[in-house]
């Protein structure tokens, strides 16, 4: 019997930062999805408040066309998100957080092209966060998953940790992308065993900023001024993301293309 191979396009969107990031998603995401024939969209939303995310901001992202929201080290900054994480299965926090924390770290989602699993993990190198080992957590989750396509958002600081995880999971997941550093890398690739990869998607937010934050606030920090709460920058924005083409019959990635939309 001939197996029908259908290439499925998945969109992964870098960290949405502040109102500028949310607004450009609302204005442009549906057009991007149509242009690139996207069937499933995952976006990191942990900086929607600048630092953290509220239920209202999560709803804005869903209304813009995001299917699943992933988070990271700022998950717990806005306490009002705690109950929302338990109630809404389409927003994920890192799976290797302590098991008693609210929410879930992975899910299987029914789509027109079959089940898609999304896993959210957080790194440990230079993150100053007491999470469990993400490599062991990935193993544990993958053993439980029965889905044709498996996607991983690895929210981590170190490029070495992201690359190591990608090679560790090569052939076991369809695509793995890095988030957290807010600077898009130029290394999108399909690894030897069929996993799509990019070290960092970049960010969705104000173009004239320091990784989404008002430049003067970041400069002040590096000058050693008394600390203050960072504020997201405003003005013209960009969406940094990547499209992964995945063979629905095998779950293997066949193409990985970074995008920047202004």
Q: What is the pLDDT of residue 107?
A: 98
Q: What is the pLDDT of residue 125?
A: 86
Q: What is the pLDDT of residue 229?
A: 80
Which residue shows structure tokens 């705690």?
82
At 194-246, the pLDDT tens digits run: 999 999 999 999 999 999 989 998 999 999 999 888 889 999 999 999 999 99
Kindly report the number of other CB atoms within 10 A of residue 84's CB atom: 18
pLDDT at 1 over 70: no
Domain ranges of the chain: 7-261
Residue 129 pLDDT grade (very low, low, confident, very high; cuts 50, 70, 90): low
Question: Where does 7-261 sit in CATH, by number?
Answer: 3.60.21.10
How confident is the model over 39-53, as a mean pLDDT?
97
In the chain, the percentage of residues whose pLDDT exceeds 90 is: 90
Q: Taking the model in full, what pTM does it have?
A: 0.95
Active-site pick, 74, 155, 180, 182: 74
Which CB contacts under 8 angstroms, 24+ apart, belong to 128-132? 129/73, 130/98, 131/94, 131/96, 131/97, 131/98, 132/96, 132/97, 132/98
Residue 190 pLDDT grade (very low, low, confident, very high; cuts 50, 70, 90): very high
Among 33-42, 175-184, 223-232, which is the least confidently predicted range? Answer: 223-232
CB 18 within 8 A of CB 235: no
CB 56 within 8 A of CB 87: no
Token readout for 249 is: 């019959």
In the chain, the percentage of residues whose pLDDT exceeds 70 is: 98
Q: What is the pLDDT of residue 127?
A: 79
pLDDT at 3 over 70: no
pLDDT at 2 over 60: no
Active site residue 5: no
At 89-123, the pLDDT tens digits run: 999 999 999 999 999 999 999 999 999 999 999 99
Q: What is the pLDDT of residue 196?
A: 98
């Amino acid at each position: 019997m001939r197996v029908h191979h259908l290439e499925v396009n998945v969109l992964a969107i870098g960290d949405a930062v502040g109102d500028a990031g949310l607004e450009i998603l609302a204005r442009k995401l549906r057009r991007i999805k149509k242009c690139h024939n996207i069937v499933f969209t995952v976006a990191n939303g942990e900086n929607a408040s600048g630092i953290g995310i509220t239920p209202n901001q999560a709803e804005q992202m869903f209304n813009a066309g995001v299917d699943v929201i992933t988070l990271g080290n700022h998950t717990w900054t806005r306490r009002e998100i705690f109950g929302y994480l338990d109630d809404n299965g389409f927003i994920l926090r890192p799976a290797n957080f302590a098991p008693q924390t609210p929410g879930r770290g992975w899910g299987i989602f029914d789509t027109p092209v079959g089940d898609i699993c999304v896993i959210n993990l957080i790194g440990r190198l230079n993150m100053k966060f007491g999470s469990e080992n993400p490599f062991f957590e990935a193993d544990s989750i993958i053993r439980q998953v029965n889905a044709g396509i498996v996607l991983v958002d690895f929210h981590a600081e170190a490029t070495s940790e992201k690359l190591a995880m990608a090679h560790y999971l090569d052939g076991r997941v369809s695509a793995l992308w890095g988030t957290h550093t807010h600077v898009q890398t130029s290394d999108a690739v399909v690894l030897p065993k069929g996993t799509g990869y990019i070290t960092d998607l970049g960010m969705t937010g104000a173009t004239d900023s320091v990784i989404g934050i008002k430049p003067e606030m970041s400069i002040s920090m590096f000058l050693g001024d008394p600390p203050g709460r960072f504020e997201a920058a405003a003005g013209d924005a960009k969406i940094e993301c990547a499209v992964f083409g995945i063979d629905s019959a095998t779950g293997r990635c066949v193409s990985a293309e970074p995008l920047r939309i202004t």
